[in-house]
Amino acid sequence: MAMVCLTDFEEYAKEHLSKATWDYYAAGADECCTRDDNLLAYKRIRLRPRILRDVSASDTRTTVQGTEISFPVGIAPTAFHCLAWHEGEVATARATEALNTCYITSTYSTCSVEEIVAAAPNGYRWFQLYVYRDRKLSEQIVHRVELLGYKALVLTVDVPYTGKRRNDIRNQFKLPPHLKVKNLDGVFQETAGPEGYGIPSNTLDPSISWKDVYWLQSITRLPIIIKGILTKEDAELAVEHGVQGIIVSNHGGRQLDGGPASIDALSEIVDTVQGRIEVYLDGGIRTGSDVLKALALGAKCVFIGRPAVWGLAYKGEDGVREVLQILNDEFRLSMALSGCRNVAEINRNLIQLSRL
């Protein structure tokens, strides 16, 4: 079967992954309202195309944190890629290297950061970080990825506690015995307590606060990007605390149910930041026109989570490449049909908010 759009990959993954694995990737918190609204919100946004603009040549390149990438779509940090494909994150890293875009490696990878770098030595990578009760553990990981050439730290701030994902509870989801959270292998052997998502469930630090941003800045020279901001108030605090970027994100609707869709939160954050730092977005990107809408509302780049996993489930590295290539092709086409020849020509004049 020809894979024409990202929905084709979704249907393949749903059919071929085990129920527990599919449910884990698909899960939203509680009633999944925010997860579903992440997608529906894009359908409420209409484009205002300009015509007769000579779109015979188009350029999708952009930069993130000063580094050029081939188009403004990267891979968001998602856990446990080996559940979808035996090579896991190694395959994801090769695919993103091949397409010259950004891969945010998850702390909860089933391949180690060293294995990922060895597999795709020229890839452009950021590392997604949680803050643990044991700060030394976070510090050790930061120094590991810094030495390996990761180019930024993405601090996830919306998980003081894990959201309630009903199907994971019903399925009693656990990593199968042959898989591990490789970056933390052996670290928690002495820690008592029930296991949640591959490591003991009480290891993340719910006391994390803005002062921890200063702490992180004190132990690294890498740019710090905060993932999980949904309000203008927190965007302003992020700027005041000297971070280099924000990812507008609701964790794929997996944390607080009833919060805004990412794309609906974007405008107020962009308006508050006023270009002082870069603003990115994840959540709900399924087509090239979704990418165009996010950029028109002020995102510098977007990141995809679940679609990358669907690509892995379909055909490993080649599947992720296909997912990224489809998005690239669709984005280029949407740009041209809207009268934009390059990313710099995309702006808010392209957007009409319709009442659905």
Q: Is the pTM higher than 0.85? A: yes
Separation CA 122–CA 97 (nearest Å) = 7
Separation CA 156–CA 153 (nearest Å) = 9
Tokens representing 47? 């484009």
Is 31 within a domain?
yes
Q: Taking residues 188-213, what's their average pLDDT?
A: 80
Q: Is 130 annotated as a binding residue?
A: yes
User: Would the pLDDT of 198 be above 50?
Assistant: yes
Rg (CA), the chain: 19
Q: Is 251 a catalytic residue?
A: yes
Residue 197: what pLDDT? 81
Is 263 within a domain?
yes
Q: Is 254 annotated as a binding residue?
A: yes
Q: CA 161 from chain center: how many Å?
A: 19
Of 262, 333, 254, 284, the residue nearest 6 (C-alpha): 284
Q: What is the DSSP letter of 343?
A: G
Q: Is 251 annotated as a binding residue?
A: yes
Catalytic pick among 16, 86, 143, 251:
251
Chain-wide mean pLDDT for the chain? 95
Separation CA 203–CA 196 (nearest Å) = 10
Is 1 within a domain?
no
Q: Looking at 3-17, 54-68, 143-157, 180-194, which range is the least confident one?
A: 180-194
User: Would the pLDDT of 190 be above 70?
Assistant: no
269: which residues sit within 8 A by CB, 6+ positions away? 229, 230, 231, 232, 235, 246, 248, 279, 298
Provide the domain limits for residue 213.
6-353
C-beta separation of 216 from 153 below 8 A: yes
pLDDT in tens, 27-76: 999 999 999 999 999 999 999 999 999 999 999 999 999 999 999 999 99
C-beta separation of 144 from 116 below 8 A: no
Is 240 within a domain?
yes
251: which residues sit within 8 A by CB, 6+ positions away? 156, 158, 159, 163, 228
The domain tally of the chain equals: 1
CATH classification at residue 86? 3.20.20.70
pLDDT in tens, 295-314: 999 999 999 999 999 999 99
